[in-house]
Amino acid sequence: MHLEIVDVIIRVALIVATSFLFSIILLAYLRVRTLKMGLITIGFGVFFVHAVIYIPELIFDEFRIVMTANNHLLIHLVALVFIALGMFKD
């Protein structure tokens, strides 16, 4: 099954946006280095790794990773829990 061009453009845009946000948060953590920023950085890092894992799927059909919608939601929940823990740390 080939991905449509709109799907590829949307996925690439989301990967670029996720990378940009993660780089900003990582630079902020490197400057401040507190537990609060560490937890937020871990949360955005989970989002970033989740986006990077799916890059080969855009190029090669053989690298399809079979994940259900529940697995995606679990990954997002873990990331959001880390971000929330960082936000509410104080």
Under 8 Å between Cβ of 12 and 51: no
* H/E segment holding residue 9: helix 5-32
For the chain, the straight-line distance linking the first and the last C-alpha, in angstroms and rounded, comes to 49
50 dihedral zone (left: phi>0; alpha: psi -120 to 50; beta): alpha
Q: For residue 11, what pLDDT is reported? A: 86
pLDDT of 58 over the 70 cut: yes
- Type of residue numbered 68: T
Q: Given a cut of 90, is residue 39 above it in pLDDT?
A: yes
